[in-house]
Structure 1
Amino acid sequence: MKYLYQLFLAFNSTWLIVVVFLVKEKYSFNFLNDCSIYYSWILFVLAPIILTALSFLVAIKLPKDSLKSSSVKEIELANNNFLPTYLGYFFVSLGVNDVPTLIVVFLIVYVFTFLSQTLYFNPIFLLFGYHFYFIKTSGNVKIFLITRKQLKTPGEIGFEKLRRINNYTFIDL
């Protein structure tokens, strides 16, 4: 299950490349015949939002873990660290001129995102109220934590309902 979830997270994290391309190229769904192209664009944008919401339901099946408040040594907000990466994705998708090139670019980015398996940053998580943090534990291990909690002071709060995505990435449900 963990492997499938990692594939799913990598897909959700990179799918916005395709959304930007489809909007740029003014693609629309054929079944919306006389309707505005904007309805198609709304569906393009809603698809990754719905898939991300689904990822929270799937996360329940991941292995359980916890992190005691006494073992949190440092907290660093990571929300803004990934903005350059996503801006890069958007600029790349704006520069792609045809579907075969889009497929190749998407597959390359997807494979590298999946193989890195260190961070699964998905900006749509922000829409659901989640934040991203780097947490340094008392054992000097730096982990990536996805949580709705606002973290400010180390040792202030613990995490009893973590789900382990991989050895260094956790989501707090």
Structure 2
Amino acid sequence: MKFLYQLFLAFNSTWLIVVVFLVKEKYKFNILDEYSTYYSWIIFAIIPIILTGLSFLIAINLPKDTLRNSSVKEIELANNNFLPTYLGYFFVSLGINDISTLIVVFTIIYIFTFLSQTLYFNPIFLLFGYHFYFIKTSGNVKIFLITRKQLKKPGENSFEKLRRINNYTFIEL
């Protein structure tokens, strides 16, 4: 289950490349309406939001873990660290001129995202109220934490409902 979830998270993290390309190229569903282009764009944007929401339901099946407040040594907000990456994705998708190139570029980025398996940053998590943190533990291990909590001081919060995505990435449901 964990492997499938990692595949799904990597997909969700990179799918916005396709959305930007489809909007740029003015792709649309054949809806008999003068506004079909705009309806299509809304559908293109809603698909990754629905898939991200589904990822929270799937995460319930991941292995459980905890992180005691006494083991949190440092907290660093990571929300903004990924903005350059996503801007890069958007600029790449704006430069793609055809579907075959999109497929190749998306596949390469998807494979690298999946194989890195260290972080599964998805900006749509922000819409669901989640935040991203780098946490350094008392054992000097740096982990990536996805949580709705607003973390400010080490040792203030404990995390009893974590799900382990991999050895360095956790999500609190």
Q: In structure 2, what is the equivalent of residue 39 of structure 1?
A: 39
* Counterpart for residue 153 of structure 1: 153
Deviation, structure 1 residue 94: 0.1
SS in 2 for 1:129: coil
**Are 1:56 and 2:56 counterparts?**
yes
Look up the match of 1:170.
170
Deviation by residue 1:60-96 (Cα, 9 ceiling, x = unmatched)? 0000000000000000000000000000000000000
Deviation digits for residues 110-134 of structure 1, max 9, x if unmatched? 0000000000000000000000000
User: What is the rounded CA distance, in whole Å, between the counterparts of 1:4 and 1:57 in structure 2?
Assistant: 13
Amino acid at match of 1:2: K
1:7-22 matched pairs, under 5 angstroms: 7-22=7-22
Q: Distance in 2 between matches of 1:16 and 1:33?
A: 26
**What do the CA deviations read for 1:38-71 (whole angstroms, capped 9, x no partner)?**
0000000000000000000000000000000000
SS in 2 for 1:83: helix
Residue by residue over 1:24-44, the C-alpha shift from the partner in whole angstroms, topping out at 9 and shown as x without a partner, is: 0000012x1224110000000
Aligned length, in residue pairs:
172
SS at match of 1:87: helix
RMSD: 0.5
User: Percent identity of the aligned residues?
Assistant: 84
Structure 1 stretches of 4+ moved >3 Å: none
SS of aligned partner of 1:58: helix
Unaligned ranges ≥5, structure 2: none
Deviation string, structure 1 residues 103-158 (Cα, Å, up to 9, x no partner): 00000000000000000000000000000000000000000000000000000000
Q: Distance in 2 between matches of 1:98 and 1:111?
A: 20
Separation (CA, whole Å) in 1 of partners of 2:29 and 2:34: 10
Q: Could you list the runs of 5+ residues in structure 1 that have no partner in the other structure?
A: none
Q: TM-score if structure 1 supplies the norm length?
A: 0.99
Residue identity opposite 2:131 in structure 1: H
Alignment match, 2:26: 26
Aligned to 2:87: 87
Aligned to 1:139: 139
TM-score by length of 2: 0.99
One-letter identity of the residue aligned with 2:120: Y
